[in-house]
Amino acid sequence: MTFEIVFVLLALLGMVVALIMDKMRPGMILFTVVVLFLCAGILTPKEMIEGFSNKGMITVAMLFLVSEGIRQSGALGQVIKKLLPEGKTTVFKAQLRMLPTISFISAFLNNTPVVVIFAPIIKRWAESVKLPATKFLIPLSYATILGGICTLIGTSTNLVVHGMILEAGYEGFTMFELGKVGVVIALVGILYLFCFSKKLLPDSRQDAAKTEGEEEAHADLHRVEAVLGARFPGINKKLGDFDFQRHYGAEVIEIRRGGQTFTQHLEDEYLREGDTLVVLADDTFVQAWGESSVFMLLANGKDTEPVPGKRKRWFALILLILMIAGATVGELPFMKEAFPNIKLDMFFFVSVTTIIMAWTKIFPARKYTKYISWDILITIACAFAISKAMVNSGVADAVAAYIIGLCDHYGPHVLLAAVFIITNLFTELITNNAAAALAFPLALSISSQLGVNPMPFFVTICMAASASFSTPIGYQTNLIVQGIGNYKFTDFVRIGLPLNIITFLISVFLIPLIWPF
């Protein structure tokens, strides 16, 4: 075993441990590992920074802006209000109206803004019709994940894998190619939620005492739920040391974490990403911090999303539809012949859509940097470099040979299952893009050593990296609904693990039939 292989394996092990322990943001952890590879001579400076100019990474950046444009148009809030049944209904009937449409929307938009907009509205609606909000919030998150696996732009992971495929010299995914298996998984997953979510999800966990006395004493104050984001400056600090009231002009009266509610000795509680703080604040709190990246979600029991005119909503939706249609038609042979000098792919159309949205003020162009999740972009760019280091050092070939040796007598189907399990475990423990970065070179090397078509392995990585159902930490939307729904960790395991298994079985059976070895 060479020095390079040992060095890369130890660095990757340290990276996984640091990601699990949440020592820093994922982007900085991956960037640290990439710098170590540069210092060891495993990566050249050119290889280190190639990911920052990758079309997949830049496409993800612009899709953040397109999603923000749709959010600020007010279209999503209007959609969910029309979906929610008025008057007396049942959990099943309400889910039947909501979940398929939510999955369809998330196939074309970033999952996080969909959940941020829908979760408070659904919770408020559930309380008004006397149904437990807990029966809807985890299904909301899962529906967005299931929708995301159906298209190339449904999740950043698909675009990351697509970019790696292109770099490896293969033809990437078309707009709806992943839908051949993704739609089946989504339909079965939604059917599973219809049948079992009512039994497997808990009834509403009551909020702590509403502190009516405090609210009466301060008539201008009301309760606001604030879910802490990664950029919240008080992460890993005691509430007493951070002094939330001095920073934000609001008083913390309750902390929710993992299904537990803390109301006593709050000053001694350490603040964590994903914690839900219940604060007493005036009307200016949500206005001042509603668009801040320090909070993933703010809910005060009122509509806080913008409600612009119909013209702006329809214009934003038409732009989105034209973007999707253009990227789909642009890949057809007759379009390639008609425009030989222009590549009419998703990158082209999302670039055009972003510029139109900026100049027509669908999102505030002066604030465009606020709407991009830079940590995700740095994670993606570093993922390309880490993948390259695994190839350069020989780690990919060595680990692939070891896996092949374990499954030598069982054929590529068992190796496909092994790739799914490895990727899925990583995505539950760390992040989906980092999981794809680790799995891709292994999949490429396994297919190369077996002499089979690598495409089934690439598709499997996309499915496995997105199938984060069993833990709240694997996917940001799970973290958001955990706080606002006051779920326990075990709630996700109970309903999510069977969904992981369903995704695994469908993927391993169906993918080789559609993309033969």
How confident is the model at residue 228, as a pLDDT? 86
Distance between CA atoms of residues 3 and 17, nearest Å = 21
Is residue 21 in a domain? no
CB 183 within 8 Å of CB 148 = no
Phi-psi region of 515 (alpha: psi -120 to 50; beta: other; left: phi over 0): beta
CATH of the domain at 284: 3.30.70.1450
Please provide the distance, in angstroms rounded to a whole number, between the alpha carbons at the two ends of the chain. Answer: 31
- Three-class SS of residue 472? coil
Per-residue model confidence (pLDDT) at position 209: 47
Q: Rounded mean pLDDT of 172-193?
A: 93
pLDDT value, residue 244: 84
Q: Are 230 and 375 in contact (CB under 8 A)?
A: yes
Q: Is 2 within the bounds of a domain?
A: no
* Percentage of residues in the chain having pLDDT higher than 70: 95
- Tell whether 307 is covered by a domain: no
Residue 321, number of CB atoms within 10 A of its CB: 11
Residue showing tokens 């600020």: 72
Lowest model confidence (mean pLDDT) among 159-168, 171-180, 362-371: 362-371
Residue 439 has pLDDT above 50, yes or no: yes
Residue-number span of the structural domain to which 236 is assigned: 212-299
User: In this prediction, what percent of the chain has a pLDDT beyond 90?
Assistant: 23
Number of Cβ within a 10 Å radius of residue 282: 15
Q: What share of the chain is helix, strand, coil (3-state, %, to 5)?
A: 65, 5, 30
Tens of pLDDT, residue by residue over 346-404, are: 888 899 999 999 999 888 888 888 888 888 888 888 988 988 898 888 888 888 888 88
Residue that is written with structure tokens 């020989």 in the block: 394
Answer whether residue 190 is part of any domain: no
Considering only residues 308 and 53, tell me which one the structure prediction assigns the higher pLDDT: 53
Distance CA(20)–CA(18), nearest Å, equals: 6
- pLDDT of amino acid 457: 94
Residues 6+ away with beta carbon under 8 Å from 468: 145, 427, 428, 432, 474, 475, 478
How does pLDDT run across 276-328, given as a tens digit for each residue? Answer: 888 888 878 877 777 777 887 777 766 555 566 778 888 888 998 898 888 88
Which neighbouring-strand residues pair with 281? Answer: 222
Q: What residue has token string 């939604």? A: 190
d(CA 278, CA 375): 27
Residue 272 has pLDDT above 80, yes or no: yes
What pLDDT, on a 0 to 100 scale, did the predictor assign at position 302?
66
Mutual angle of helices 374-393 and 3-21, in 10-degree steps: 160
Residue 196 to residues 185, 199, 477, 499, Cα–Cα distance (Å): 16, 5, 20, 11
265 assigned to some structural domain = yes
Q: Which residue has the tokens 């952890």?
A: 29
Total tally of structural domains belonging to the chain: 1
Does 295 reside within a domain?
yes
Confidence of residue 515 (pLDDT cuts 50, 70, 90): very high
pLDDT of 128 > 70? The answer is yes
492 and 158 in contact (C-beta within 8 Å)? no
Cross-strand partners of 262: 255
Secondary element (H or E) of residue 216 = helix 212-217
Rounded CA gap, 106 and 139, in Å? 13
Does residue 238 fall inside a structural domain?
yes
Q: Is the pLDDT of residue 80 over 50?
A: yes
The tokens describing 425, both together, are 């475990």
d(CA 81, CA 411): 50
More confident residue, 516 or 306: 516
Is residue 364 domain-resident?
no
At 137, is the pLDDT very low, low, confident or very high (cuts 50, 70, 90)?
Answer: very high
Phi and psi at 120, nearest 5°, equal -65, -40
Residue 401 pLDDT: 85
pLDDT of 85 over the 90 cut: no
pLDDT band with cut points at 50, 70 and 90 for residue 53: confident
Mean pLDDT (the chain) is 85
Mean pLDDT on 60-72: 86
